[in-house]
Structure 1
Amino acid sequence: MSASRIALITGTSSGIGLATAVAAAQSGWQVVATMRNTAKAERLLAAAGEAGVAERFRVMALEVTDSASVTECVDAALAAHGRLDAVVNNAGAGALGTAEHVSIADVRAAMEVNYFGVVSVTQATLPHLRASRGRLVTVTSVGGVVGQPFNDAYCAAKFAVEGFMESLAPVAATAGVRVSVIEPGAVASEFVASQQIDIPAMLDAAGPYASALQAYINRTRASFGNAQSAADAAKVIIATLDADEPPFRVQTSDWARDFVGTKLADVDGSRVQQLTAEWVAAS
């Protein structure tokens, strides 16, 4: 058993999850770092070693779309540490495509990992967070506030997460659990590359949407060329985790804050539609 604060973090094999796990350990947390395939833990453990916090890590397997895996992981974390003080829902996956060109199976898959996985981990850990009066932090996206072209399924899942957490937050607070969502914009990580998208094939299959898709791809490549680092995004997550009075909604950059702010002030949706229409306009 450990007297340290214990944080369980999902999706820690790369990107924001890896950076957040290391930053949490540097901030004094004992980290249960979870990932689908623990054979991919080498980079995380190397980063933890370089940061001098390797002794604060315990790597566990967790497939967020498998309820048995969720239960097994949470039970193992409790057996090892005796408590949970924070959970960071970070695991997720992209889904590029628009309504006529994505299958229902693809939409369901995006919902499973990005939404139902979050719900499953939250349900399994919330009783233990109540016991510790802990923190529940979920990494969503600016795509959980602003619907974005060719991200129909991804944004739908992230919108669902935001609605779930916004509804849960005041109820959880009555039991001492603070709930926050973190909204990154473009982050330079393996998240985009890991999608293994065949862009030429997508363009060939896009039909009447080919010019819009090409414009969107051009714009997206440019935005990720100026992306925030995963380490900078992780600093915001840890600041939220450590805050005495964490806000519900937190953006990880000035750009993300301005982008989300556009939507939250846009009562009739016209400003967002005008903005995102520019992303798919042929130059």
Structure 2
Amino acid sequence: MTTSTQLLPAKNELVLVTGASTGMGAATARELARRGYHVLAGVRRETDANQIQADRIEPVILDITAPDDIESVAARVGQDSGSRRLRAVVNNAGIAVNAPVEVLPLAEWRRQFDVNLFGHIAVTQAVLPFLISSRGRIVNITSVGGKIAMPTHGAYAGAKFALEAVSDSLRRELAPLGVQVVIVEPGGVTTEMAGRGIATANQLAEGMTSDQHGRYDGLIGAITAQAASFTKTGVPADIAGRAIADTITTPNPRTRYTIGRDAAILVRVARIVTDRTLDAILRRNLAPHYAKR
């Protein structure tokens, strides 16, 4: 894998990347542009558009839960359908709001599923005719949380598990039509999303009842400390972006890729141990992060 920042010759192809304001999405957009693709970088705010705009990177306002935004992006892809084919869509946008199942309000459950699942389906439906025409590729960014559900990650993991299942179904539906579907499962990556998720989790914890504080304060503190540790030692976003770009440029991609040593190990372990054994492993890994009494 090359780490050069030199622009390669331009290709006559588009790639749509959602959630391209920061982190993995922005890094993926920049790497794809470097490799010659014209990137439609989905962002939610004009300020983010100004930051990501660059040679071969065209920012587009795209809240994947907003039907009008999705319709506009599909129309933008259609403008180039006669001259530049849609090579791929990278469904990367996401949020993380973590709290125990008992504590997390239903509105937050719905919001996470809207962004982390239904929004990706809506974008895919909108651009799928172009991908079928070009025999392109769909890259869905799930998570190690799409294979292993940590405590307090019920809503996030639930949406990511569901996206894994939808991706499997979609892959089998589209294979006869020449469209490939690839799943990418990152572990700890140094992105802003993790920090925002920790802040939101702390805010939700403030609204717990006294009984809930007694049940969950230690767990929430440990999970938060563990997440901060993973973020600090995680894979840099640029490396994750190159890995995602590889899934688009490789001729014969696998159906699934992990990013980061932690994701690779956890996903493999989960395949071969019993649920009880996996519970014990996760408990043991979390134990050092509990506050000392």
Per the TM superposition, whether the score is higher than 0.5 is yes
Residue 20 of structure 1: how far off its partner (Å): 0.2
Uncovered stretches (5+) of structure 1, i.e. residues with no partner: 49-53
Secondary structure of 2:200's counterpart equals: coil
Residue 198 of structure 1: how far off its partner (Å): 6.0
The equivalent of 1:51 in structure 2 is none
Partner AA of 1:61 in structure 2: I
Residue 147 of structure 1: how far off its partner (Å): 0.6
The equivalent of 2:126 in structure 1 is 124
Q: How does 1:163-174 map to 2 (within 5 A)?
A: 163-174=165-176
Partner AA of 2:126 in structure 1: A
Q: Identify the match of residue 241 of structure 1 among 239, 248, 251.
A: 248
Q: How does 1:51-62 map to 2 (within 5 A)?
A: 54=55, 56-62=56-62
The equivalent of 1:157 in structure 2 is 159
Q: Quick one: distance in 1 between partners of 2:136 and 2:102?
A: 43
| Deviation by residue 1:142-197 (Cα, 9 ceiling, x = unmatched) | 11111111111000000110000011112211100010011111111111223442
| Deviation by residue 1:254-283 (Cα, 9 ceiling, x = unmatched) | 2211111111223x3223211222355446
Q: Quick one: distance in 1 between partners of 2:285 and 2:31?
A: 34
Secondary structure of 1:245's counterpart equals: coil
The runs of 4+ residues in structure 1 deviating greater than 4 Å are none
CA 1:198–1:219: 2 relative to 1, 3 Å: closer
Q: Quick one: distance in 1 between partners of 2:96 and 2:269?
A: 23
Contact 1:21 1:33 survives alignment (8 Å): yes
Q: Identify the match of residue 216 of structure 1 among 195, 200, 223.
A: 223
CA 1:239–1:261: 2 relative to 1, 3 Å: same
Residue 75 of structure 1: how far off its partner (Å): 0.8
The equivalent of 2:205 in structure 1 is 202
The equivalent of 2:191 in structure 1 is 189
Residue 5 of structure 1: how far off its partner (Å): 1.4
Q: Quick one: distance in 1 between partners of 2:91 and 2:205?
A: 30
The equivalent of 2:5 in structure 1 is none
Q: How does 1:26-105 map to 2 (within 5 A)?
A: 26-45=34-53, 48=54, 54=55, 56-80=56-80, 82=82, 83-105=85-107
Instruction: Answer yes or no: is 1:8 the counterpart of 2:16.
Output: yes
- Of stretches 124-133 and 68-77 in structure 1, the one that deviates more from structure 2 is 68-77
- Aligned-pair Cα RMSD in Å: 1.9
Q: Quick one: distance in 2 between partners of 1:271 and 1:78?
A: 50
Instruction: Answer yes or no: is 1:23 the counterpart of 2:31.
Output: yes
Q: Quick one: distance in 2 between partners of 1:199 and 1:14?
A: 22
Scaled by the length of structure 1, the TM-score of the pair is: 0.90
Q: Identify the match of residue 275 of structure 1 among 274, 281, 285.
A: 281
Uncovered stretches (5+) of structure 2, i.e. residues with no partner: 1-9
Q: Quick one: distance in 2 between partners of 1:198 and 1:228?
A: 23
Partner AA of 2:30 in structure 1: V
Residue 44 of structure 1: how far off its partner (Å): 1.6
The equivalent of 1:144 in structure 2 is 146
